[in-house]
Amino acid sequence: MKLTDYFLPVLKESPADAEIASHKLMLRAGMLSQSSSGIYSWLPLGLRVLKKIENIVREEQDAAGVNEILMPTIQPADIWKESGRYDDYGKEMLRIKDRQGREMLFGPTNEEQVTDIFRRTVRSYKELPSLLYHIQWKFRDELRPRFGIMRGREFLMKDAYSFDLDKESSRASYNKFFVSYLKTFERLGLKAIPMAADTGPIGGDMSHEFVIISDTGESDIYFDNRILNLTNIDENIQYNSDLSTIVESYQDLYSVADDKFSEDDFNLKVPEEFRKHTKGIEVGHIFNFATKYSEPMKANVLNSNGKTVPVHMGSYGIGISRLVGAIIESSHDENGIIWPNSVTPFDIGLINLKIKDFDAVKICEKIYLELKDTGIDILYDNKDDSPGAKFSRMDLIGLPIQIICGKNSVKDGTVEIKYRNSGDVKLINISDVVNFIKNK
Ligand code: 5CA
């Protein structure tokens, strides 16, 4: 992509109402445009990152054997009346009426909708377990939307749902999601800690929040520091094997959100040198709620004895739009964003400092086309701006590698490679650029 064709409205100054780094940087880097309180449009750079995160989450759900579906944003109130949550959900739910006067709502979550799909289609225990997910916009009329897309009113969520015959197999489904979440967040360049948590309006008796440590997070977390040293999940993990040992290795170390915190337990279970109390950002939340929805909504199957029984369910959320902010919170410096390779909007930024020099333009065009041909995403700054403006814009948008083409490029046939993360700069020959980048 050439910068002269790209819609990238960067700002010099942070907007006054943005309080935290990620919100400021997303606005300054031209990723977002606010529509109203807690509601945003995603501009090209922001949308690229959102899609990359969405795809990693999708790949990991698929790898764990979860089926992708797409449910509507607008749901009928009737199913929420059946589950009993229509009144419980309160003012966070956006309620609307269609032209026939039927009560509808903009979905804040989908337990009822997915349970309705299940009860219409599945009859026998032989079809279980069933695992479904979708990636869809949600609306919650949050009391205090803040920090940009971090606590929005409209936000993108991956929500998954499990249906099992009994408590035991439902626990195995829970473990599957638990492990796949650890792997997903690893791929996103994040260390997410699973914390035992309250279930709130979703309900149930077992729940974990996945939280990344950050001073600007809204959650208070208490944990045993050794949880950060547990080994990563194997890339080829077999999701149909028994995953309880992995899950227990996390659960054996005390880690809780503040609604589950007990000072006595913390002191008893964690030696003083490992006790940690910090702020964090909740990027995922999983729940097991047994038959809370299946019983009132009559989502039943026939078991092996021909008896009708309600299914055991769980739900599993990841805040996809929140993750964009969370990744920036954990990876930026005073000059701007530093994208992890897995979610960077472009792999490479190519800067031409000599846009009026015919030979420099020729060199850059060649590098640009050759890299593009190898399937590398490259943003070519071919704009007629000062070097200072070009450097600060490229640092702000945070691409991992910059190729800088200046006066030496024409004279000596070299370009500079700058790593955004370390700031290290390296000179290489123009003829080696493509191979060098390909090997990275
Ligand atoms: N039905 C369950 C799981 S599918 C559910 O809705 N869980 S949740 O309420 O915890 O939301 C799941 C994830 O969505 C959260 O962990 C968080 O990362 C994200 N999320 C929740 N509310 C917001 C919000 N207002 N803005 C941005 N992201 C949010």
CA of 331 to the centre of ligand 1 (A): 22
383: which 2 tokens? 């704009």
CA of 317 to the centre of ligand 1 (A): 6
CA of 128 to the centre of ligand 1 (A): 26
Mean pLDDT of 71-96: 96
Decide whether any atom of ligand 1 lies within 6 Å of the 112 Cβ: no
Decide whether any atom of ligand 1 lies within 6 Å of the 147 Cβ: no
| Residue nearest atom 20 in ligand 1 by C-alpha distance | 319
Dist CA 180 CA 329 (whole Å): 23
**What residue ranges define each of the domains in the chain, with the CATH number in brackets?**
9-337 (3.30.930.10), 348-439 (3.40.50.800)
Quick: pLDDT tens for 40-69.
Answer: 999 999 999 999 999 999 999 999 999 999
Quick: pLDDT tens for 241-279.
Answer: 999 999 999 999 999 999 999 999 999 999 999 999 999
- pLDDT-derived band of residue 207, with 50, 70 and 90 as boundaries? very high
Nearest to 170 by CA among 59, 275, 312: 312
Decide whether any atom of ligand 1 lies within 6 Å of the 45 Cβ: no
The contacts of residue 211 (CB under 8 Å, 6+ apart) are 192, 193, 195, 217, 219, 221, 257, 280, 281, 282, 283
Quick: pLDDT tens for 109-149.
Answer: 999 999 999 999 999 999 999 999 999 999 999 999 999 99
Quick: pLDDT tens for 281-320.
Answer: 999 999 999 999 999 999 999 999 999 999 999 999 999 9
372: which 2 tokens? 């593009």
pLDDT at 198: 87
46: which 2 tokens? 């922001």
Cα atoms in the 13 Å half-sphere on the side-chain side of 378: 24
Mean pLDDT of the chain: 96
Decide whether any atom of ligand 1 lies within 6 Å of the 210 Cβ: no
DSSP structure class, residue 220:
E
The contacts of residue 355 (CB under 8 Å, 6+ apart) are 361, 382, 383, 384
Decide whether any atom of ligand 1 lies within 6 Å of the 224 Cβ: no
The residue whose CB lies within 8 Å of the most ligand 1 atoms, and thus the one to mutate among 322, 324, 329, is 322
pLDDT at 407: 83
| Residue nearest atom 27 in ligand 1 by C-alpha distance | 151
Dist CA 96 CA 76 (whole Å): 10
Decide whether any atom of ligand 1 lies within 6 Å of the 416 Cβ: no
CA of 155 to the centre of ligand 1 (A): 9
CA of 15 to the centre of ligand 1 (A): 26
Quick: pLDDT tens for 350-409.
Answer: 999 999 999 999 999 999 999 999 999 999 999 999 999 999 999 999 999 999 999 889
CA of 150 to the centre of ligand 1 (A): 10
